[in-house]
Structure 1
Amino acid sequence: MSSGIPLLKAFTVLLVVILTGFYACNNADKPAKEDSNKPVIKQFSPAADSLRKLVLSNPDSVTYRQQLIQQLEKDNQIDDALKQNDTLQQKIGDNAVVWLNKGSLLEVKKDTAGAIDAYEKTIVRQRNLQEAYIRLINLYTEQKNNRALQLIDYMFRNELAFGVETDLILFRGIYYAKIKEYNKALTCFDQCINDKYTFMDAYIEKGALLYEMKKYKESIAVFEKATTVKNSFADGYYWIAKNQEALNNSKEAIDNYKRALALDQEFTEAREALKRLGIIK
């Protein structure tokens, strides 16, 4: 589920104003000495390598280190990013941004329990950090944990939902769908669409749920509406095709799989469907 969750980039500016009294650079900031066996030197992207040099030259710069952590995450150098985050914590203390970084990195490592723990620590240290709540809600929703609903309600009650109201309602719907309270889920998805008719994720969730419920014609109607709103919506045509195939309307299904693939050449599921139907090799 794609939900437009904000990323850690937004916190670079925040870090500039965090505590200015830092400790001296520790050993983590010093170049590693080569031993007689000449170990293989880890390769970093040019962007990460430039930032590493800036950090070595400016070990007390929170901004450079935070940028390095973000770049290492982007490069999937997660263990190195975690080490840099540990050093950042040593310098600025037990800060919310450090725990937010850690949660994001542990998510990439598929350590869901660790990520949840880190995000929970984040919101204890900074109660109004919207991103941490969103990330927690996402993980708890996937686990079918009703703490997701508690956090959604908390955000609405405490004026933390500004700008993400529709996303929160969508999460609520996804949670209900996962625990098979389908009517509540559909009500949430309808609310999302009514509040923001261009919110394609809501159409996908509603239509996919109707497909799961074997209400194929109703699902088609949802995706036809979505493709009317956005005629370049490849996912919409793909789901129309899936429903048509379920209704044994192979010719129409093939046409819509082709349309989805024409709009998105990287649409693997549409390509595989056409292969399965013998249209392409």
Structure 2
Amino acid sequence: MKEYIATALGAGVVGFLPFLNLNPQPNTLTPTPAPAPIPRLQKQPVIQLQQSTKPGKRHRIQVQVISLNDLKIAEGAEVAAGQIISDRTEERESLEAQRNQIDISIKQLSASMSQVAELPPPNFAVQEAAIARIKSEIELMDGKPSLPATPAPFFRFKDEKLRNLLEPEKMNKVAEGIRTEASERAKMSETKAKLALELNQAIAALDKAQSDHQHQQYQHSLNLIRQQSEMQRQQYQVASLVAQKQQIESKLREITQIKSPVAGQVRRIKNLGQKDRQINLEVVIDVK
């Protein structure tokens, strides 16, 4: 037992000597092998990945255009802040031309609304004066003393000599008086007939003047009716044109230039669909 313990202790001491840097006496009988070198650990190079401190940003802008010509940029293009992205130039020019034409039409319609002149008051003084003059002349003629209707009685002379001497002369005077009276009556009748004709003509002239005035009044009333109808029609046309102008101005207010709020590069232009004539696009910009 004691021999076993001693052998074990000796083996332990010999195994521990290399760690104590002790050089034991060499055994002449059995040589001791040299200890193997302890391998050294080499440090591996460390690769550090530098992460970007500024992550990439994208800005999205939705625009509406009528044609692709209204789009002023393309994919991959560089854009600056405030640069125009889309502008519906053709549509704006067309709407402005329509608005200018409507303004001209409104001015023309407003200028053509002329008022119908009022009729002057009737004046029949000339015809009435002619009638009054003729009536006055007729009254003057009626106021003259009338000629005797029959000649003076004819007295025959009893004396035959006187009768033969004076009766022919007296008969001639009587005949002359009858002829004169007949001539005067004929002249008076002719004058009265002429005055009566003039009176009838003057009355007819007055009637015609009054009839003409009534016709003028009738025509004036028709002109007023036509004027009112024309003014209503023109007012309706002006109101319709004003409504069209307001619609155009509303469309013009909707047409605005779309500008880029950021600077960067256009990454993608995506078509979101089309409604009626409007094409909806999405512009994606990589912000610098």
Structure 1 or 2: larger strand share? 2
TM category, shorter:
under 0.3
Structure 1 or 2: larger helix share? 1
Larger Rg, first or second structure (1 or 2): 2
TM-score of the two chains, using structure 2 as the length reference: 0.15
Give the number of the structure with larger relative contact order, counting CA–CA contacts within 8 Å between residues 6 or more apart.
2
